[in-house]
């Protein structure tokens, strides 16, 4: 794969496919499309390529890249009204491999009901059965590397690789971690004592219960397996696959920009003729603002496609800066509207997460807290380098997915269900827009559908409440709301390139989200009090015993949640795959409405959140689009008018003097 070090060489070619964003889905799509030697594929990635960087490859270094601008976009939310105006950090990968390079390597699938919701919302070809071949195509989980004997796997609620729903033939290397910590098994036994069963088949479409997840860690090398190592590097010798890093896309160039309603191309559709970008780091002005740089233009062929894989925060912004979005918003930013599509940037959803930490009785208990000791960390790193085992070869992997029936009494669940008014929540329109809320209400009342996740982490996690004791040993439980009723938005803040998006996740804007999280924390506390986990615990660290007291008011615990809740870093929905009348941005073929050759392929197309971490789904999404060509997603696209497209590319290039203005 030619890795272009300068924009001159990259823009000399005109491509069959231009992929914007070399992340978890973009690299999959690009690598698969380039398996056809007759096409030219170009990838534009804003971040650098961190080849063999130990901060990426060593699993136990997870977290070291967060807040580092060479890896992380370092986005922030707007002040959150329902969180006492807190501004939340929103990490996203700004590097080749995208967020697969900085995430926690968790590998999970959602339930069959989650994927069925996509079909119910108007998208044919997106059921569990439609996804499964692409899950299999993406993953490699050899039986020989599944940890331990059958008895040990049952003890860990770990599943077999040979269930018929897992594969050893894919690209992403998967395996169980070699180190779990002393509280991993007690966490499961405590849950079982409270009536939550183990589920050794959590990847088979029924995901409630307790389980040890596999991770995207190569079990042979004990290194992170990400989109770069799994898709870019094996394809790096392909002469028809071109990459440029350090290139920030400013807009997609559309045929007929003078037509304000986008009535161009075939059947009134706008057509992408190229992509404009800036190269290199942005320079700052006298007052610290980021200055716009030189513009470069790369062309897409007459029958080519632009694949937008910028992620849930950047894909809608790139569409808006290209003239696709709400006309009133675009005009307010000084952008000429080309395609009237008000759903762009709306319906943003995330997994709100609240951490809890407990101090352990025995300071000799083996937990991840030991890595705070520089001497121990150095010895552990040496052990990892020699054996590929230990804490640096591992990440937390004990999870429990819970229906609300484990946490709340029937009248409490009914009260939450009654709080969901699909007509009111959809802006008084109901219909297709309200159907998303109808589905969520059904899931809340379903005793077989997970709404809360408990994530076991064998170390201190509540840094937002204060530091841990120097030599303390801790266990943490992270409480995650899987189907938040609160919906937010993300939009461009300016017509200028590199201006940060306005991201409002609107956490806890629906009061029932706070109710469900409060019950989630109370149940997690019951787990921490139950034997055998409770036998290891000395005292709650955060929240305090007083805040957790079931006989006291919930106000203290609710205040704790508002202070500590954070993003689970799983944003979706901002370019939703829905009918256009229901606020959709892309159709079931992932084509942007009002255009004939722009598709969005990333988490932003998911219109409703799943009861799972999204990584496995996103790799499968890339495979679904990339295998058999972009038009293999569904029926062949309609023919569009093609005359004069090369002239249009030349016009744009002349307008920016090929980026040399």
CATH number at residue 171: 3.30.560.10
Residue list for the binding site for FAD = 99, 249, 614-615
Residue list for the binding site = 99, 249, 614-615
Q: What is the pLDDT of residue 551?
A: 81
Give yes or no: 551 in active site.
Answer: no
Residue 545 lies in a domain: yes
Q: What is the pLDDT of residue 109?
A: 97
Claim to verify: residue 330 and residue 403 sit in the same structural domain: no
- Rounded Cα distance, 143 and 161, in Å: 5
Residue 233 lies in a domain: no
Residue 254: domain span: 1-108+242-349+494-508+571-603+610-661
Total count of domains within the chain: 2
Claim to verify: residue 222 and residue 356 sit in the same structural domain: yes
Residue 235 lies in a domain: no
Contact 557, 521 (CB under 8 A): yes
Residue 234 lies in a domain: no
- Rounded Cα distance, 291 and 271, in Å: 29
**Residues 34, 127, 102, 19, CA torsion sign:** positive
Main-chain phi, psi angles of 307, to 5 degrees: -110, 115
Q: What is the pLDDT of residue 230?
A: 98
Q: What is the pLDDT of residue 156?
A: 73
Give yes or no: 652 in active site.
Answer: no
Structure tokens given for 450: 């997970």
Residue 167 lies in a domain: yes
For helices 431-445 and 112-120, angle between their N-to-C axes, nearest 10 degrees: 160
Residue 414 lies in a domain: yes
Q: What is the pLDDT of residue 645?
A: 42
- Rounded Cα distance, 259 and 236, in Å: 41
Claim to verify: residue 423 and residue 554 sit in the same structural domain: yes
Residue pLDDT, tens place only, 246-260 = 999 999 999 954 443
From the candidates 449, 491, 510, 613, which is the catalytic residue? 613
Contact 56, 50 (CB under 8 A): yes
Q: Which residue has the tokens 């106000």?
A: 555
Residue 133 lies in a domain: yes
Claim to verify: residue 358 and residue 217 sit in the same structural domain: yes
Claim to verify: residue 531 and residue 501 sit in the same structural domain: no
CATH of the domain at 50: 3.50.50.60
Claim to verify: residue 334 and residue 421 sit in the same structural domain: no
Q: What is the pLDDT of residue 552?
A: 82
Claim to verify: residue 335 and residue 273 sit in the same structural domain: yes
Residue 237 lies in a domain: no
Claim to verify: residue 558 and residue 615 sit in the same structural domain: no
Alpha-helix residue ranges (DSSP H) falling in 165-255? 184-193, 227
Claim to verify: residue 414 and residue 386 sit in the same structural domain: yes
Claim to verify: residue 131 and residue 251 sit in the same structural domain: no
Contact 524, 453 (CB under 8 A): no
From the candidates 4, 248, 491, 570, which is the catalytic residue? 570
- Rounded Cα distance, 414 and 445, in Å: 7
Claim to verify: residue 529 and residue 502 sit in the same structural domain: no
Contact 539, 359 (CB under 8 A): yes
Claim to verify: residue 168 and residue 290 sit in the same structural domain: no
Those residues of the chain that have pLDDT short of 70 are 1, 143-154, 159-163, 256-267, 282-292, 429-431, 628-661
Maximum CA extent, the chain: 75
């Amino acid at each position: 794969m030619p890795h272009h070090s300068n924009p001159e060489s990259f823009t000399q070619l005109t491509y069959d496919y231009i992929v914007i964003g070399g992340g978890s889905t973009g690299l999959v799509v690009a690598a698969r499309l380039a398996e056809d030697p007759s096409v030219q594929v170009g990838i534009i990635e804003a971040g650098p390529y961190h080849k063999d960087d130990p901060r990426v490859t060593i699993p136990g270094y997870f977290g070291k890249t967060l807040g580092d601008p060479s890896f992380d976009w370092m986005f922030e939310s707007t002040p959150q009204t329902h969180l006492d105006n807190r501004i939340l950090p929103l990490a996203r990968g700004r590097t080749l491999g995208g967020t697969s390079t900085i995430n926690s390597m968790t590998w999970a699938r959602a339930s069959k009901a989650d994927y069925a919701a996509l079909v119910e919302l108007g998208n044919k070809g997106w059921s569990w059965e439609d996804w499964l071949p692409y899950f299999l195509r993406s993953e490699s989980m050899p039986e020989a590397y599944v940890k331990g004997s059958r008895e040990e796997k049952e003890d860990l609620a770990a599943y077999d690789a040979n269930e018929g729903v897992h594969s050893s033939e894919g690209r992403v290397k998967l395996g169980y971690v070699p180190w779990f910590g002393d509280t991993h098994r007690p966490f499961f036994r405590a849950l079982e004592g409270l009536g939550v069963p183990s589920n050794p088949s959590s990847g088979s479409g029924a995901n409630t219960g307790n389980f040890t997840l596999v991770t995207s860690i190569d079990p042979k090398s004990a290194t992170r397996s990400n989109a770069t190592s799994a898709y870019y590097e094996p394809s790096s010798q392909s002469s028809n696959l071109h990459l440029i890093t350090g290139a920030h896309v400013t807009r997609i160039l559309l045929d007929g920009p003078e037509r304000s309603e986008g009535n161009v191309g075939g059947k009134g559709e706008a057509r992408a003729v190229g992509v404009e970008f800036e190269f290199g780091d942005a320079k700052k002005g006298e007052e610290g603002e980021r200055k716009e740089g030189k513009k470069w233009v790369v062309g897409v062929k007459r029958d080519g496609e632009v694949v937008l894989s910028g992620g849930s925060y950047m894909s809608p912004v790139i569409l808006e800066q290209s003239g696709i979005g709400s006309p009133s918003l675009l005009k307010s930013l000084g952008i000429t509207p080309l395609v009237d599509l008000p759903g762009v940037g709306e319906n943003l959803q995330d997994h709100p997460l609240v951490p809890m930490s407990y101090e352990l009785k025995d300071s000799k208990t083996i937990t991840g807290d030991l890595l705070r000791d520089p001497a121990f960390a150095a010895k552990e790193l040496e052990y990892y380098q020699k054996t590929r085992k230990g804490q640096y070869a591992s990440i937390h992997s004990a999870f429990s997915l819970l229906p609300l029936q484990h946490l709340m009494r029937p009248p409490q669940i009914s009260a939450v269900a009654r709080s969901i008014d699909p007509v009111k929540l959809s802006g008084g329109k109901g219909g297709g827009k309200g159907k998303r809320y109808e589905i969520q209400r059904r899931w809340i009342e379903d005793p077989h559908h997970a709404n809360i996740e408990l994530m076991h982490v064998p170390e201190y996690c509540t840094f937002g409440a204060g530091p841990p004791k120097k030599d303390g040993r801790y266990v943490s439980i992270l409480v995650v709301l899987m189907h938040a009723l609160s919906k937010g938005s993300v939009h461009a803040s300016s017509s200028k390139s590199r201006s940060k998006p306005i991201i409002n996740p609107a956490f806890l804007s629906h009061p029932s989200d706070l109710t469900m999280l409060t019950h989630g924390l109370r149940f997690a506390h019951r787990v921490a009090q139950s034997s055998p986990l409770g036998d290891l615990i000395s005292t709650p660290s955060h929240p305090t015993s007083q805040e957790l007291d079931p006989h006291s008011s919930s106000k203290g615990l609710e205040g704790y949640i508002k202070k500590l809740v954070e993003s689970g870093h799983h944003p979706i929905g901002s370019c939703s795959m829905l009918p256009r009348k229901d606020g959709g941005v892309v159709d079931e073929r992932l084509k942007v409405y009002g255009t004939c050759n722009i598709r969005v392929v990333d988490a932003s197309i998911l219109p409703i959140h799943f009861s799972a971490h999204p990584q496995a789904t996103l790799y499968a999404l890339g495979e679904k689009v990339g295998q058999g060509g972009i038009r293999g997603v569904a029926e062949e696209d309609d023919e569009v008018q093609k005359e004069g497209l090369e002239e249009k590319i030349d016009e744009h290039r002349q307008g920016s003097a090929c980026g040399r203005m």
